[in-house]
């Protein structure tokens, strides 16, 4: 499956806010990937949300990715799954998903990113780049220098994540990221559509001339 045009804006849904509404507004604003992430929701709710979000992503020529839950991705026809370091290995996920679904893997070091690519991932999420409040007791941020070094070693897209806001999105892209993944910068913004639009403009400004 082909990625949307770079730079990629992946909007991750917030567990405390309505995912379908956030997804719809983000897509109107220019998001090219929606990641449904909710670690406490029931499988029934995840399927219901997925069935509502998937046609929205199709309408906007965007990708729909499920966080962690390979079973939900298979059941709902999502474009793929995003896995953490403690989840199913990418190589095993590939065997179950087949060759046409997208697999993303969260990474925080060069070694993890290279291993994810070796195991068959289609993209890596890399970070956190800047300080973030989305995880409990997070490790120190990796920064843009590590991002730049890691991106130069990969043949697959690197999507930066962690603490990315409007004021630093362009710098992340100019450091070599293929795109960014955000939660609060869009999902918790008072106007998710306008927030997505502004991020897309900022990212395009950070692309090499």
Active site residue 44: no
**What counts of helices (H) and strands (E) characterise the chain?**
9, 8
Residues 6 or more apart whose CB falls under 8 angstroms from that of 4 comprise: 32, 33, 61, 62, 63
Cβ proximity of 7 and 204 under 8 Å? yes
Active site residue 106: yes
Angle subtended by helix axes 166-174 and 143-151, to nearest 10: 40
> To which H or E segment does residue 104 belong?
strand 102-107
3 lies in a domain? no
* Catalytic residue of the set 39, 44, 135, 137: 135
Closest C-alpha among 184, 201, 206, 181 to residue 63: 181
Number of domains the chain contains: 1
Question: Greatest CA separation found in the chain?
Answer: 46
Whole-number pLDDT of residue 136: 59
19 lies in a domain? yes
Whole-number pLDDT of residue 5: 73
Residues 6 or more apart whose CB falls under 8 angstroms from that of 48 comprise: none
pTM here is 0.95
Q: How many CA atoms lie within 13 A of 160 on its CB side?
A: 34
175 lies in a domain? yes
2 lies in a domain? no
Angle subtended by helix axes 143-151 and 110-118, to nearest 10: 30
* Catalytic residue of the set 50, 106, 175, 178: 106
101 lies in a domain? yes
Task: Band the pLDDT of 22: cuts 50, 70, 90.
Answer: very high
Gap between the Cα atoms of 110 and 84, Å rounded: 15
Gap between the Cα atoms of 10 and 20, Å rounded: 15
Active site residue 204: no
- When pLDDT is averaged across residues 36-64 and rounded to a whole number, the result is 97
1 lies in a domain? no
Beta carbons within 10 angstroms of residue 140's beta carbon: 8
Residue with the bigger pLDDT between 140 and 197: it is 197
pLDDT in tens, 149-199: 999 999 999 999 999 999 999 999 999 999 999 999 999 999 999 999 999
- For 153-182, give one letter per residue: b (16+ CB within 10 A) or e: ebebbbbbbbbbeeebbbbbbebbbbbbbb
Gap between the Cα atoms of 97 and 109, Å rounded: 26
State the CATH number of the domain containing residue 33. Answer: 3.20.20.70
- Does position 2 have pLDDT exceeding 70, yes or no? no
Gap between the Cα atoms of 98 and 117, Å rounded: 16
What range defines the domain where residue 172 resides? 8-206
Closest C-alpha among 140, 195, 136, 138 to residue 169: 195
């Amino acid at each position: 499956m082909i990625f949307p045009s770079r730079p990629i804006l992946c909007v991750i849904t917030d567990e405390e806010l309505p995912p379908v509404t956030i997804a719809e507004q983000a897509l109107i604003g220019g998001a090219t990937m929606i990641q449904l992430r909710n670690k406490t929701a029931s499988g029934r709710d995840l399927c219901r949300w997925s069935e509502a979000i998937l046609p929205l992503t199709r309408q906007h020529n965007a990708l729909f990715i499920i966080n962690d839950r390979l079973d939900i991705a298979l059941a709902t026809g999502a474009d793929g799954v995003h896995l953490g370091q403690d989840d199913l290995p990418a190589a095993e996920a590939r065997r179950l998903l087949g060759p046409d679904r997208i697999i993303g893997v969260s990474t925080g070091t060069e070694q993890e990113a290279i291993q994810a690519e070796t195991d068959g991932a289609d993209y890596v999420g890399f970070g956190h780049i800047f300080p973030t409040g989305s995880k409990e007791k997070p490790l120190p941020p990796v920064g843009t220098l590590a991002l730049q070094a890691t991106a130069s070693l990969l043949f697959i897209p690197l999507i930066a994540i962690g603490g990315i806001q409007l004021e630093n999105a362009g710098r992340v892209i100019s450091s070599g990221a293929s795109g960014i993944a955000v939660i609060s910068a869009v999902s918790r913004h008072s106007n998710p559509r306008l927030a997505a639009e502004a991020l897309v403009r900022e990212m395009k400004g950070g692309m090499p001339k």
